[in-house]
Chain A
Amino acid sequence: SQELEQSPQSLIVQEGKNLTINCTSSKTLYGLYWYKQKYGEGLIFLMMLQKGGEEKSHEKITAKLDEKKQQSSLHITASQPSHAGIYLCGADMVAGNQFYFGTGTSLTVIP
């Protein structure tokens, strides 16, 4: 079973278009983390959300965590080829000491 469901699995967008990636859990999350992975490389930390309703932005990327702390979205505005890669959400649950990752979203941005 997958603790974190991520959608869509892949996205192909034209440069300049906006896009959204979703991450959903059936359990309440203690902390939600977004990472980006370039093909063949390690994970780079993007943002962390802890409070219900929290929203954070960095450059053209905005992440939100819902009030129930079970769903998060990552929104990219005016996508660029440099945004291409695999985006993964990760979370630690309120109960337990483990960390879980979603299955990832592969993003391709066509110039």
Chain B
Amino acid sequence: NAGVTQTPKFRILKIGQSMTLQCAQDMNHNYMYWYRQDPGMGLKLIYYSVGAGITDKGEVPNGYNVSRSTTEDFPLRLELAAPSQTSVYFCASSYYQQGGQPQHFGDGTRLSIL
């Protein structure tokens, strides 16, 4: 079972470049999430989606955009990369949030902005 798949695993960007982090899940989960993890800071929610066509901001949405055209895919877009966006990015999915269902995580994308 693939679960949650994130690509790429590593990426180095120059300041001002743009890129899309891909996330796909094959569990037919309706909720999907994007987090960033900085050293010593735990995970911060960037954006989440409760279903295809519906997205909402999390704690730290500035500098990012998302879309959810299908149940399976939830890409995260960085338009103008900044050094502050250097982090490890995790995508997660679950059946629904406040129903006692745990989130399933991908292996992460390690992004460096130089």
Interface residues of A (CB under 8 A from B): 2, 4, 6, 9, 30-31, 33, 35, 41-45, 48, 50, 88, 90, 92, 97-104
Contact = CB atoms under 8 A, between A and B. Distances in A.
Contacts, number: 60
Nearest to A30: B98
B42 A104 contact: yes
B34 to A, nearest CB: 11
A31 B110 CA distance: 29
Contacts of B97: 92, 97, 99
Contact of A45 (B45, B102, B108): B102
A33 B42 contact: no
A35 B42 CA distance: 12
Contact of B100 (A31, A42, A45): A31
A101 B43 CA distance: 6
B21 to A, nearest CB: 14
Given A43-B92, A88-B43, A90-B43, 13 more contacts: A9-B40, A42-B90, A43-B103, A43-B105, A90-B103, A92-B97, A97-B56, A97-B98, A98-B48, A98-B58, A99-B33, A103-B40, A104-B42
A42 B105 contact: yes
B42 A43 contact: no
